[in-house]
Amino acid sequence: MKLVVVGGVAGGASAAARVRRLDESAEIVVFERGPDVSYSNCALPYYLGGLVEDPARLILSTPEKFKNQHNIEVRTHSEVTAVNRSRKTVSVRNVLTGETYEEPYDKLVLAPGAAPIMPKSIQGIDRGNVFSVRDVQDVVRIESYLKQHDAKNVVIVGGGFIGIEVAENLKNRGYTVTVVEGLGQILAPFDLDMVQILQRELYDNGVRLELNSTLTAIEDGKAVCMKDGSEFAVPADAVVMAIGVAPETKLAAEAGLTIGQTRGILVNEHMQTDDPDIYAVGDAVETVNRLTGQRGRLALAGLAQWQARVAADHICGKDSAYKGFIGSSCIRVFGLNAASTGLNEKAAEAAGIEASAVTVYPYDHVRILPEAHPIAFKLVYSVPDGKILGAQAIGRGNVTKRVDIIAALLGMGGTVTDLIETEHCYAPLFSTPKDVVHMAALTAENLLAGRFKQVPVRDVRPLSESGACIIDVREAWEYELSHIKGAKNIPLSELRDRLDEIPKDIPVYLHCRSSQRSYYACCYLQGHGFDNVINLSGSFLGICLHEYFNDKTTGREPIVTGYNFD
């Protein structure tokens, strides 16, 4: 059996190596258009920040290593220009010499990846100071240009994962950085009430955010943008385009293979295309979202590697299947770690799923020990069955392990009850007896059972501005430090003695620092016949985090008398 693989990196290189492990007799040839067959594309931004000092360290393997260790022939600088299905060959062009030839195959794996989107409608997009981030050569060019031209100001276009990672790394190197994002928030997998925390972190670290803004032109020393119909300019010695990627499907389309509804190469559960001898993996393929059943694409290295394994297994006669993606990702934004998995509230609504969410702010480990920090944790679940749909977590500690727990349960169709019953490791340095995820699940279970009511943190400003009855059950000294304007302070410790101060004929909204004491207050008041009490989800810390960024960047009147994030 002869296997030909088009494209290296996570998908193509992994498929080739897996086939070799399963079939020592197979002849395997990998074609790669660029100079490197295997490199850490996820680590590319960290070369710009100096965490990876030598670009050679980004190269994970070489053609020589593939040959010596795996007996796989890798031909770099070789572009596959056509798939000739009737002859079962691919047409190849050496990009250095121009030589062309055909290579036969028995099985073919397409791993062409996705290319950065560079809109031709943007005037000046082809200037020498405009870059993308796709491979090692890209980041080397950016680094070289910034140094050679003594650049000071860099504009990043796009607030996705790559854009924010590049922004952080360049800011850490001393550049003045502006992120221009067309939507009203960065990092789309996070809901707005959560991503506000990360936007604040960028703001506090000196990164300028221009949301709801689009780049229209790149001129000498500036980037011209539009926002709300008005034009403005941002200083720009260099521009990095990170608005997204488009799957490279031209080769497949010209070969007559079906392109899916989201513009990716359509494959089945074995990663086969229409042609049973042609497989496709990685950023260019369209698969299925396991939570919604909808077709979609997700460009993640881990998914590409898993798809490559499934394709290789099936090529070698193993009954292996790819069930689809859930969508798990993580990022560091200066001092904060953030992770998400599954559906956020927006995605659940778009999929037509009746969903609810809880947000809690417990500490990541026992608070009396050093380096304990709050984690903002949001759990999204369906109503009324409590099936887990997704989660988001942000904090200075370990957020990924919490989100990984949710990702595992998502893969098994787990519920809020399953999460409550999940046993975790505990020691004071690592967690709390009821971990962050347990607190969220217990809160969700109480809501599903109708034990109390809540409103999300995004509703607090309208409530405050309308003069709603808000009761702060923190201690008096906490209230004096900072509080919601118009809120009345009745500490939990005094609540039973001051019941006559709480109205029964209008909604009463309760909050504390983290929602725990206000939940207790809800229970106490309901036990005394109050059926009009509502907890503020996320409570005071969440309110401050949610409001801070917009207050600072829009100049609107704060609803909090001061911000205390401790």
| Chain segment 63-75, per-residue pLDDT in tens | 999 999 999 999 9
CA proximity to 522, closest of 542, 540, 502:
502
Question: What's the CA angle centered on 536, arms 511 and 356, to 5 degrees?
Answer: 155
Confidence (pLDDT) at 566? 45
Digitized pLDDT (tens) for each residue of the chain, 566 residues in all:
999 999 988 899 999 999 999 999 999 999 999 998 888 989 999 999 999 999 999 998 899 999 999 999 999 999 999 999 999 999 999 999 999 999 999 999 999 999 999 999 999 999 999 999 999 999 999 999 999 999 999 999 999 999 999 999 999 999 999 999 999 999 999 999 899 999 999 999 999 999 999 999 999 999 999 999 999 999 999 999 999 999 999 999 999 999 999 999 999 999 999 999 999 999 999 999 999 999 999 988 899 999 999 999 999 999 999 999 999 999 999 999 999 999 999 999 999 999 999 999 999 999 999 999 999 999 999 999 999 999 999 999 999 999 999 999 999 999 999 999 999 999 999 999 999 999 999 999 999 999 999 998 889 999 999 999 999 999 999 999 999 999 999 999 999 999 999 999 999 999 998 888 999 999 999 999 999 999 998 788 888 877 777 776 777 888 888 765 44
CA dihedral 100, 106, 107, 112 (to 10 degrees): 0
Contact between 252 and 285 under an 8 Å Cβ cutoff? The reply is no
pTM, two decimal places? 0.93
At 216, phi and psi to the nearest 5?
A: -115, -30
Integer CA distances (angstroms), 144 to 21, 149, 343, in order: 40, 8, 40
Q: Is the previous residue joined to 384 through a cis bond, with omega within 30 degrees of 0?
A: yes
Q: Kindly state the tokens that stand for 145.
A: 């240009």
Q: Where are the alpha helices (DSSP H) in 377-494?
A: 400-411, 416-420, 436-448, 460-465, 476-481
* 3-class SS string, 473-512: CCCHHHHHHCCECCCEECCHHHHHHHHHHCCCCCCEEEEC
State how far the Cα of 196 lies from the Cα of 186, in Å rounded to an integer. 9
**What DSSP string describes 215-253?**
EEEEETTEEEEEETTEEEEEE-SEEEE-S-EEE--HHHH
Residue 564 is predicted with a pLDDT of: 52
Element (H, E) at 180: strand 176-180
Quote the CA–CA distance of 404 and 251 in Å, as a whole number.
Answer: 36
The answer for residues whose C-beta is within 8 angstroms of residue 470's C-beta and 6 or more apart is 463, 464, 484, 486, 487, 488, 509, 510, 511, 536
| Alpha-carbon dihedral angle through residues 260, 265, 267, 270, given to the nearest 10 degrees | -160
Contact of 35 with 63, CB cutoff 8 Å: no
CA distance 223 to 214: 10
CA distances from 349 to 21, 54, 182, 292, 389 (A): 44, 45, 21, 11, 11
| The pLDDT value given to residue 207 | 97
Nearest to 131 by CA among 27, 229, 237: 237
User: Residue 311 corresponds to which amino acid?
Assistant: A
Q: Assess contact for 507 and 466: CB atoms under 8 A.
A: no
pLDDT digits (tens, 9 = 90+) for 202-235: 999 999 999 999 999 999 999 999 999 999 999 9
